[in-house]
Structures are given as C-alpha cells and as structure tokens.
A and B are shown apart, each in its own frame.
Chain A
C-alpha cells in the first residue's frame, strides 16, 4: 500500500523545506519516492543528493525521436518510458528522487503526458510513501503525477493573502483529483504562535485547526553554507513541526 502526500502552497512558504524533512522522517518507516514537481528543481538540494535527469527531458527526447521516426516500432512507448524513468531516478538511502523538470514547449503532448503519468503512477506503487513537492501553481502536477492523493499538505505563511491561496488550492485540487484523503494546513514561519485573525480565516475556508511552525533560526545558516535542509539539528523548530505533522496525520 502506498500513501501519497502532496505538499502545495503559495510561493516561498516552505514547501520544499517541509517536503525534504517529510522525506527524511518517512524514509525511516518505509521506502519513499520523492517527486520534485517544481520546474525550478531544488528538492534535490534540500535533500542533499544529485539532481539526476528529468521527466521533461525524457519527454523531449521521445518527442524528438517520434518526429525523426527513429523509435523502434516494436518497443511500445509505455515500456520505453518505464525504463527511461527508472534511469532518471536518483537512488539514495531510504528514498529515490524523481524530478519532473521543465514543462513542455509548444506542440501537443497529450499522449506523451498521459503515458508519462501512467508510468509515474506505476513507479509510485512500488513505494511505501510518495511525497510530491509541487510548484506554486497547480496545473503542472495535475498532468504528470498521480491522480489519487491521500494527504494534501497546504503550506501558508501567517498572512491573509497566503491563506486565500491555500483555500484556492484546496478547491482546485478537489476538482482535479479523483480522490483526496485528508487535508492539512500548515502555518509556517509564524513568530508567536497562531494569530487569532489567521485562525479565523482558516476556519472560514473550511480547514481544521492548522499546525503552526515558528521561525527557524537554523535554516539561514544552512542556506548560507549551501547545506541540505535535512541537516537541521534535532531540536530545530521546523524539524519538530514536521515530526508533529507526521504524528498528527497518523503517517
């Protein structure tokens, strides 16, 4: 059984940092597939592993080969893609990373994207957990990654604007997915607990009580040195917050 967790939210709210720590915690319980669905591809840095190739690259190569007519007619594209995606995985201790990469250029990619989505879905079924770090907009992952979501983590900062984005995402993903399990709201970088105005907004938009994570003093230092987020010390607020999240969601 695979549990799929999507981390979404407004730009710069902490999706990638939280995804990396989620991957790290969960990889102690079962093997994790981490999917970087942000074209900026920085989850690998947060996890401290190589970037690897991307699904976008595979799609470009295949489309080029189709145009040139150089693909063997007897190797079906779904089979071919499965091997290509395997080869693009960055394999590490307890988790593998797959980067989606750049979105497609002009032209038609319905078929390529559909076959890629099937292949990524199939790949995910071999893992205990799939953690998807999404880009700020949501359209991209809808096309290329798994349809069913068990847990949707929406990250927001303690501002009204960011909470509204969180509500939009909640609505949008509900329309797109065939199934969404739990939805959890995380208010990240909130210096003094949960402000009452933010709590009221969260309630208004139909979120349960949000999990609040404070300002983490250790992150800036890691960023300056270019060290991965996974090196945060054990008592770091962000790390403790993510552990709390995992416990709360019963993962």
Chain B
C-alpha cells in the first residue's frame, strides 16, 4: 500500500503539541466524539469500504478542533462479540502507528491530533486515515475477514449516534463487572502502603479490589505494564487450595515473601483464621460483632459512633498495620458488589449493620429480601438494640436460614 506518511510502531511514543498540530479531533473542548467497533455478519460489511460523512481534513481550518466518530464494522467467522472492546482498543494503537497522528483516550472521550508536517506531506483526507486503519487491522489480525470504516465529522450526525454508542459501552461495563477469579491467569499485588504497614501486601483479583478502592484488577494490569519494577506486581495463583475461602498456593508464597514471613497463608474471602491484612487507607472496615455473631461495615466518611460504640477511626486503628486480625478486615466499598464478598463466612447474609448512606448507595448489590433486615444508625443505637432489631425483623443469619458454602 502507498500512503503519504510512514507507518510503524516507532511512531507510538510521538506526541503532537498545539504548536505543531494541523487539526485536532475530539479532546476536552469537543462534545461530539466517539469510536466504536461493531461485529456484524459478513453480508452487512462491504469489505475495505471507507466512508467520510461531513467535511474532510482539507476543508478544515488550520488549528481548529473538530468533531469525529470512528465507526469500524468487522466480520469474521472466528470473531466474537466480547472481542469488540479489545479490537476497538487497537484503534488507539494503530492510529498512533501513523507518522504525525496522535491518539489518546477511548470510547466517547477520544482526542486525536494531526501534525502540520504530515498534512503538508499530503495526508489531508480522512479517507487515507480509514485506509491505513483497514490496512493495519487486516494485516495484524487475520481473524478479521471483512472490515469497513466510517468516519463522521458532521456534528449533528454524531450527536444522533452517540446515545447508541453509550449504550454499547454501558453493556460492556456490565459484562466486565462479571469477570471472575476463575477467568484470569494472574492476580496483582500492591505494596504501596508498606511505608505505613511494612508487612501489608494487598492482593487484587477481578473479585477483590484493593482495600483503598483505587486499584481494580484492570488498573493493576495497566500499572504493572507501565512500571514492571514498581510497587504493583503480578501475583501467580498457583494451586487453588480452597475455592470457598479463596486460598491459593502461589498467593500464600507471595504474601509470605512480601510480609517478610509475618504470615504465610491468606484467605481472600474469609475474615477468620488467615484473613487479608489491612493497610491504613482502606475505604471501609468489616468488623465482627460477637453478641450477634454477625458483621458490621463502616466507611471512612461515617462521622458518628457505630453500633458497637466505636467510631470508624477507633475501629480502623485496631485493624490497620498489616497484621492478620481475626474478624476485622479493611476493604474497598466496591467489594460489597463482589460475588465472593466474604463468601466463606456467609457473605452479605451475615452483615447485620451498616451506615444508612452505604446501604442506600449499594442497594442494588444487597439481596432484596435482606435489605430491610440490615440495621443502620437510624434503627439501633447499641448492640442490645441491634439484637432486638434482628429478632424482630427475622434476620436470616440469626434464624439459621443461611448455610455456609
């Protein structure tokens, strides 16, 4: 193929400053923008077709910011729907392969710059941009049998199509939230907090966000790629010793090494015996209430006293420091949504108290029949009242209706 500009991975690190740019598409000042890959049936894709709807680069004012939608339709026998996001991410990679093209972000947040230099070399049409994308997609991904690219610069048209794209992104997020520990080969570990808690090593899995709530499994993967020598690293799974408690042989080895031998076993999904350690910066704490044999949850922003008469800071103080403490675990609030949320101990069905704010925020993650049976600061003031409340509402854990897995 003959193009006006050079193509290759050597251009990936290249950035384009405002001084050197001919036009930009998307970015902070432009609302109408997105990129989307859609898998279609072979009959629906006219192979190697490039459509440009709206003004082309040569019709644009130098230095201006423009709307853009990149729509890539693909077909192929071995392609599957859930490959769409991965293939879509390749737009970022391939666009950056083009000399004088700089692509950032993704989805409805894209930001693309074209350099004056490449424009002056004759790269002045989006048709060529589409042709290069097609060339790279087909030469790098043989599973793509047919591909067509539509590039839209017409603001109105993009505005019309954007809500549909947003729906697709949302549906993908929902699917991603369903990623399980079983689906991945590797977990991530984080020792950023070891300056405060020298024996603490956070283990991050698709079903266990880091205690601080800031590092999901996907973030761990990205951070590790960016800085493989850094404080976020890969943790192998090894052998699955206990699927309910969440004990893995290689995780045990890793945390033993990282904690300098302080502990050598870790249950990812139980608060007892060998629970996960806590740093100092967890978003919330899960704490055991012996009088009712259930758990309370309290988060950092909760100002008052919990049902056991202690504040968040008091409970957090006793939990933090990188030690394994029976019945006390620092945690991310998102953990409430995890299907493995303290599953070995009864999970959400063993939770008897949490602040009203958290209960409302996570309403969708709490089983409907349980929702009114979890007490908050509005219902009870102390453990004695809690006992009465749980009796009155018939909390399933206290009634013995919950069987442990």
Using a CB–CB cutoff of 8 Å, the interface residues on chain A facing chain B are: 31, 63, 66-67, 69, 72-80, 82-83, 86-87, 91, 93-94, 96, 107-108, 110-112, 114-115, 118, 122, 125-126
- Of B206-214, B248-256, B383-391, the stretch lying at the interface with chain A is B206-214
Binds A, one of B10-18, B114-122, B153-161: B10-18
Inter-chain contact A76/B218, CB cutoff 8 Å: yes
A108 / chain B contacts, CB cutoff of 8 Å: 193, 212, 214, 279-282
- A contact patch SS: helix
Q: What residues of B have a CB within 8 angstroms of the CB of A83 in the complex? A: 104-105, 109, 111
Contact count A vs B, C-beta below 8 Å: 99
What's the nearest-Cβ distance from chain A to residue B338, in Å?
12
A76 touches B221 (CB 8 A): yes
**Can you sample 10 A-B contacts with CB below 8 Å?**
A67-B283, A69-B334, A76-B219, A77-B223, A110-B279, A111-B190, A111-B192, A111-B210, A115-B223, A122-B226
- Which chain A residues lie closer than 8 Å to B226 at the CB level? 78, 118, 122
Residue of A nearest to B172 (CB): A74
**CB of B215 closer than 8 Å to a CB of A:** yes
Could you tell me which residues of chain B, from 167 to 214, have a CB within 8 Å of some CB in chain A?
169, 172-173, 176-177, 190, 192-193, 210, 212-214
CA distance A72 to B171 in the complex (A): 11
A140 and B176 alpha carbons, distance in the complex (Å):
36
**Cα–Cα, bound, A67→B361 (Å):** 10
With A74-B85, A76-B222, A122-B226 already in contact, the answer to whether A96 and B17 are too (CB < 8 A) is yes
Contact call A73/B177, Cβ cutoff below 8 A: yes
Which residues of chain A are near B105, meaning CB under 8 Å? 79-80, 83
Residue of B nearest to A93 (CB): B19
With CB as the reference atom, state the residue of chain A lying closest to B221.
A76
Mask of B224-243 contacts with A, CB within 8 angstroms, 1/0: 00110011100000000000
**Interface mask (B76-104 → A, CB under 8 Å = 1, otherwise 0):** 00000000010000000000000000001
B37 contacts chain A at the CB level, 8 A cutoff: no
- Chain B: residues with Cβ within 8 Å of the partner, total of 48
B16 to chain A, nearest CB (A): 10
The docked-state distance in angstroms from the alpha carbon of A126 to that of B20 is: 14
Are A74 and B173 within 8 A (Cβ)?
Answer: yes
Q: Are B214 and A72 in contact (CB under 8 A)?
A: no
Q: A74-B85, A78-B219 are in contact. Are A66 and B19 (CB under 8 A)?
A: no
| Shortest Cβ gap from B36 to chain A (Å) | 14
Q: How far is the CA of A229 from the CA of B23 in the complex (A)?
A: 32
Is B216 located at the chain interface by the 8 A CB criterion?
yes
Contact of B18 among A75, A80, A91, A125 (CB under 8 A): A91
CA distance A40 to B227 in the complex (A): 31
User: B111, A75: Cβ atoms under 8 Å?
Assistant: no
Q: Is B27 an interface residue (CB 8 A)?
A: yes
> Which residues in A have their C-beta under 8 angstroms from that of B216?
73, 76-77
Q: A residues within 8 A CB of B190?
A: 111
> Contacts A76-B219, A91-B18, A111-B192 given; 4 further ones with Cβ under 8 A?
A74-B176, A83-B105, A87-B27, A118-B223
A165 to chain B, nearest CB (A): 25
Contacts of A93 in B (CB 8 A): 19
What are the residues of chain A within 8 A of B172 when measuring CB–CB? 74
Q: What chain A residues lie within 8 Å of B221 (beta carbons)?
A: 76
Known A-B contacts A74-B218, A87-B27, A111-B190; A67 and B17 likewise in contact (beta carbons under 8 Å) = no
Question: B138 near A: Cβ within 8 Å?
Answer: no
CB distance from A103 to the nearest CB of B (A): 16
B300 interfacial by beta-carbon distance below 8 Å: yes
B38 surroundings in chain A (CB, below 8 A): none
A121–chain B nearest beta-carbon distance, Å: 8
> Is residue B28 contacting chain A, with contact meaning CB distance below 8 A?
yes
Contact B111 A107 (CB under 8 A): no
Q: Give every chain A residue within 8 A of B109 (Cβ-Cβ).
A: 83
CB-CB under 8 A from A86, the residues of chain B are 104, 111
Contact: B173 with A72, CB < 8 Å? yes
Which residue of chain A has its CB nearest to the CB of B231?
A114
B107 interface residue, CB < 8 Å from A? yes
Q: Is the CB of B173 within 8 A of A77?
A: no
A251, B210: Cα distance in complex, Å: 43
Closest beta carbon of chain B to A23's beta carbon, Å: 15
Point out which of B17, B190, B214, B279 has the most chain A C-beta atoms below 10 A from its C-beta.
Answer: B214
Cα-based distance from A209 to B217 in the complex (angstroms): 52
Once bound together, how far apart are the Cα atoms of A96 and B19, in whole Å?
Answer: 10
A118 to B227, CA, bound (A): 8
B212 touches A111 (CB 8 A): yes
Residues of A within 8 A of B219 (CB): 76-78, 115
